[in-house]
Amino acid sequence: MNNDSVLRVDENTLSKDLSGNIYIVTGANSGVGLETTRQLIKQGGHVVMACRRVEAAEEEASAFADLPGSYDIIRCDLADLQSVRDFVDVFLNKYDRLDGLACNAGMVNMSGQPKYTKDGFETTIGISFFGHLLLTELLLDLLKQSAPSRMLILSSVIHAGSPKNRYDVHLDDLNFKSRKFSNFAAYGEAKVACVLYAMELAKRLEGTGVTTASVHPGWARSNFGSGGGFFMRMIMGMMRPIINNLTSWTNSNEESAQTSLHCLLSDDAPNHSGAYFSQHSVLYRDKECRKGGWPMTSPNPNARDMDNAKTLVDISRKLVGMN
């Protein structure tokens, strides 16, 4: 792989005038979310940055001052369902349209043991999947009213697992309450859930003009993995310079935002509602997937199973307090 392997949004798409369009990007203060936000504002869009650390978002957003578009920052902690509900209340009081919802935020619990959110979800799946599921479900009416509109959710190459070990959602124990915890399995399963959610939602929204996508952004040179305990932070601190030098394997944050931008802005993405879109990645264990694709078929059959998707979403809507 070299830098020519990076899948890039075409110039026509990146020069569309987004004036009047309103977007929400979660985790907009860092990495992939920050670069997605920057490009939308560059094209004249208005981005509501849904961040748990408002000060960090304010600091990053100061660089947007000279761009044609605009932004707003509203606090949203995806590890706290009440915070998600509060975010939606504030948003709906201020805005009456939503052209694109980018469910971008995510983390991996590197502590080696399960950690639970206030609402009892294991944090990795709690933030990546359950928090975003509630956010999306609460905004569905507005997305429908604003159609054509789009929703995307960040997954990861890790969801694919390997031919010998495909991750799956454990419908009887989504939150590692009765299984041995593993950082990688927790992350892989959470990201399978994200692929399944985009797929299920696309089916449910057929004919409404709202389309969905799940995304692997590439191996981003972002702040990802900087949480966790002291030893994990130390290991990641030592690894970061190595990762940053592997420039043919890893991607800048701007490159890592390309797949999300394609899903939000290209004319073609809505023709593949519910699909999985991936940047190139050496991390696919299935070699034929390494080139990525917009869209591409996930090599993990568990992430393509609509019955699995429907059952997951049914259970999960109840767990987040939706009827």
Interface contacts to ligand NAP, rule CB under 6 A: 26-27, 29-33, 52-53, 56, 76-79, 104-107, 127-128, 154, 156, 216-217, 219-220, 222-224
β-pairing, 46-51 vs 100-103, is: unpaired
Question: In angstroms, rounded to a whole number, what is the distance separating the alpha carbons of residues 160 and 126?
Answer: 20
Is residue 187 annotated as part of the catalytic site, yes or no? yes
Is residue 306 classed as helix, strand or coil in its secondary structure? helix
Q: How far is the CB of 250 from ligand NAP (least distance, A)?
A: 7
C-alpha neighbours within 13 Å on the C-beta side of residue 62: 5
Question: In angstroms, rounded to a whole number, what is the distance separating the alpha carbons of residues 33 and 20?
Answer: 20
CB 32 within 8 A of CB 156: no
Q: Find the helix or strand (DSSP H, E) in which 35 lies.
A: helix 31-42
Among candidate residues 94, 93, 96, 122, the one with its CA nearest the CA of residue 109: 122
User: Catalytic residue among 187, 197, 276, 284, which?
Assistant: 187
DSSP string, 144-208: HHT-SEEEEEE--GGGG-BTTB-----TT-TTSSSS---HHHHHHHHHHHHHHHHHHHHHHTTTT
| Residue with smaller CB distance to ligand NAP, 101 or 146 | 101
Residue whose structure tokens are 């509109």: 149
**How far, CA to CA in Å, does 269 sit from each of 150, 152, 160, 193, 262?**
9, 11, 21, 21, 7
| Residue with smaller CB distance to ligand NAP, 208 or 223 | 223
Among candidate residues 223, 224, 227, 190, the one with its CA nearest the CA of residue 111: 227
Tokens of 98: 């939503």
Backbone φ and ψ for 70, nearest 5 degrees, come out as -145, 170
| Residue with smaller CB distance to ligand NAP, 29 or 146 | 29
CB 48 within 8 A of CB 24: yes
Q: Which residues are catalytically annotated?
A: 187
